[in-house]
Amino acid sequence: EKEILETVANHSPKNFYELKIYNISNSELLPEDLESFFISWKNRDSKKSLNLIIIRNNYIISLEVNEENMKIIEKYKNLGIIKKFEVREFEFEI
């Protein structure tokens, strides 16, 4: 997870602003890694705020379950780095 977030922050196009994370296995993202991602996002050339959408499965531990991660997400929402934060349930389509 950490490596993917670093890649998104450092190499995504300037017009990229919506990140959907599909948690299909237990999240191992540490709060300091999440904070590092938001700092990198803040320092991008494009100053677009991020829409962060977590799509989770009921049977796994998603990153928003970690209280420290949620504090960091709230911090960056208050700073305007995150425009929208949303958690959705994964729905299987047949």
Other CB atoms within 10 Å distance of the CB of residue 23: 20
CA distance 7 to 84: 21
Which pLDDT value is given to residue 80? 96
Torsion of CA 19, 24, 25, 26, to 10 degrees: 60
What number is the average pLDDT over the span 74-84?
97
CA distance 45 to 7: 15
The secondary structure of residue 1, as a DSSP letter, is: -
What number is the average pLDDT over the span 47-66?
80
Q: Could you give the number of structural domains in the chain?
A: 1
Residue 73: which domain range? 2-89
3-state helix, strand, coil in the chain (%, to 5): 40, 20, 40
Write down how long the chain is.
Answer: 94
Residue 94 lies in a domain: no
What number is the average pLDDT over the span 48-66?
80
Which pLDDT value is given to residue 65? 67
